[in-house]
Amino acid sequence: MVKAAQRMYYGKALAKLAERKEIVVLDADLGGSTRTSDFAKVAPERFIQIGIAEQNMIGVASGLAAAGKTVFASTFAVFATGRCWEQIRQAVAYPKLNVKIVATHCGISVGGDGASHQALEDIAIMRALPNMIVISPADANEAYAATMAIADLKGPCYMRMGRADFPLITSEGVKFEIGKAAVLRNGNDVTLIGTGQMVMSCIEAAGILEQNGISAEVINVSTIKPLDSETILASVSKTKCVVTAEEHSIIGGLGSAVAECLSENRPTPQIRVGVKDSFGESGDPGELMKKYGLTTDDVIKAAENVIGKKGKK
Amino acid sequence: MGGAKGLDVKDLRRRADKIRMHVIEMTSEAGSGHPGGSLSSADLFAVLYFHVLRHDPKDPEWEGRDKFVLSKGHVAPVLYAALAESGYFPVDELLTLRKIGSRLQGHPVKGKPPGVEMSTGSLGQGLSMSCGLALAAKLDKKDTRVYCLLGDGELQSGQNWEAMMLASHYDLNNLTIFIDRNHLQIMGSTEKTMSIDPLAYKLRAFGLRVISIDGHDIKKIIKACEKARSSSSPTAIILNTVKGKGVSFMENNADFHGRSCKPDEKEKALKELTERMSSW
């Protein structure tokens, strides 16, 4: 299967967007990794280096946006959301300014850098902010399309991406509609809801489950906020049970967002696949995904377990 | 537009006291707010809104305007008073401060009321926002000037120094920073809480041009702003001020950082300010 890194396609999208003069890109000394360097090559005058000062980066982004710019501010997710969360709250979300915080290096698959650099809480803390849209594309093609889509959005947005190469599950030129989940496979026995690279695990799991006589529906939730409740509720009204899968803590992320939706609208058995309230560590990305329960096998086990909970009172 | 007027120092002094009277009335009516730091910067507000800033209260979003960011957002009352006196919104609305449904939130919100450039209140962030506004003006080749007011206690927050580093790095000479150096913060003396001095040296070390003046001297504020306009680097103007300036029992009294006047104190304060206003 062809693989590509989301951040590489983010860089490509920014380079394309550079033709739009209102677009400004801010970096906190990680442009080579986040690939904002691709924008810097074609529009150096609108690439503003802030240095290792994320709090200042958000404030500067706020001022630029207030003066009419569409601002992309990028760094690693831990620093882009955690270091400056309150700056984002005060200077971006509250005044609803046109700032896109696009972060790379989300999740445990960051690998060798270890827990200090593995963002596992970013969805939770960004989702809690009023006015904030939260996007988590499934692969590099979707990352490209989402970058284009958020550039047209007037207002705050957070987009998370991984570091490593992920399998391409969508095709080049895929359409991205903010707030719309995509049903990738139809099924009747269980709904597998994934985000980011865990969508691929859900697809693989569905294939294996089918061989065991279980029909799984797969949904890619690439906009976590606002959540596409309609698509999710329509699916569970049929399958009556859910597995959520994300490269994020099980606290506050996709699993929580889905649980909130279900408990208020259609209480449904659910199992959350994600990091179980712990920090990560250094290691090979594949080994880490295995150790922290983020593989296709983990999704399969969760699906089998949750099916067993159906109909129980 | 404010900047088009000739200089009438007496008029500006009276306006500063009028602004002070609004601050006392507003915070007293609200039963809370931050009158101390509002009074210490009233003279600056009179100079800015009635002399220095190019702005149009009838067209708050006018493209050619200068921009003022109140980083020490807790002195929102003095900003609202200056905006209302300039004609951005009716003076009567000032008494809605901090009341439910009011545009006059406890800390400033962008565009609410008109004339408020940025949302502030969480200290240490306004200077970064001002740098963003100044950078945008440079990118667009506009002659917009950006003015930012910081509290002295606020300088304990590290983000200010990140922003100063950036202002100097990008030669943001269209940025003027005012520091309301009244030496008091909630817990008392700034120097006892967490010392800021030697302030001018620190600011210079971060690449700023530094001008230190009596922050209640209208003429000196105007002159310092003129110097800042012709500077090749960003300028910091240290306004040496007295917290609670203009009301005897509020001067140098940290108690009035975050509490308003009781009814009897209000009457006394307004009487003093009325006398002060007619003395010019």
**pLDDT exceeds 90 at position B1:** no
Which chain A residue has the Cα nearest residue B169? A50
Work out the average pLDDT over B120-134.
98
Q: Is B167 on the interface with A (CB under 8 A)?
A: no
Q: Which residue of A has its CA nearest to B127?
A: A59
Is A264 tagged catalytic? no
A9-28 pLDDT tens trace: 999 999 999 999 999 999 99
Q: Give the distance from residue B166's alpha carbon to the nearest chain A alpha carbon, in angstroms.
A: 7
Q: Which of A19, A22, A54, A142 is catalytic?
A: A54
What CATH number corresponds to the domain at position B59?
3.40.50.970
Please give the pLDDT value at position B3: 44
Instruction: Look up the domain containing B79 and give its range.
Output: 2-279
Determine contact: B228 vs chain A, CB below 8 A.
Answer: no
Does A313 score more than 80 pLDDT?
no
Cβ of B137 within 8 Å of Cβ of A46? The answer is: no
Q: How many domains does chain B have?
A: 1
Band of the pLDDT at A133, cuts 50, 70, 90?
Answer: very high
Say if residue A281's pLDDT is above 50: yes
A182-226 pLDDT tens trace:
999 999 999 999 999 999 999 999 999 999 999 999 999 999 999
Q: Which residue of B162, B171, B206 is the best one to mutate when testing the A interface, meaning the one whose CB has the most A CBs within 10 A?
A: B162
Q: How far apart are the first and last CA of chain A?
A: 43
Give the single-character DSSP code of A172.
T
Q: Where are the alpha helices (DSSP H) in chain A?
A: 6-17, 31-34, 37-42, 54-66, 77, 85-88, 122-127, 140-151, 198-211, 229-239, 254-265, 285-291, 296-309
| CB spacing of B162 vs A53 below 8 angstroms | yes
Chain A residue numbers touching B133 (CB-CB < 8 A)? 63-64, 66-67
Q: A160: helix, coil or strand?
A: strand
Which residues pair with residue B69 across a beta bridge? B148
Question: B144: which strand partners?
Answer: none
User: Hey, what domains does chain A have and what are their CATH numbers?
Assistant: 3-167 (3.40.50.970), 182-308 (3.40.50.920)
Burial A62-101 (b: 16+ CB within 10 A, else e): bbbbbbebbbbbbbbbbbbbebbbebbbbbbbbbbbbbbb
**pLDDT, mean over chain B:** 96
Residue B128 to residue A91, Cβ atoms within 8 A: yes
Is it the case that residue B5 has pLDDT exceeding 70? no
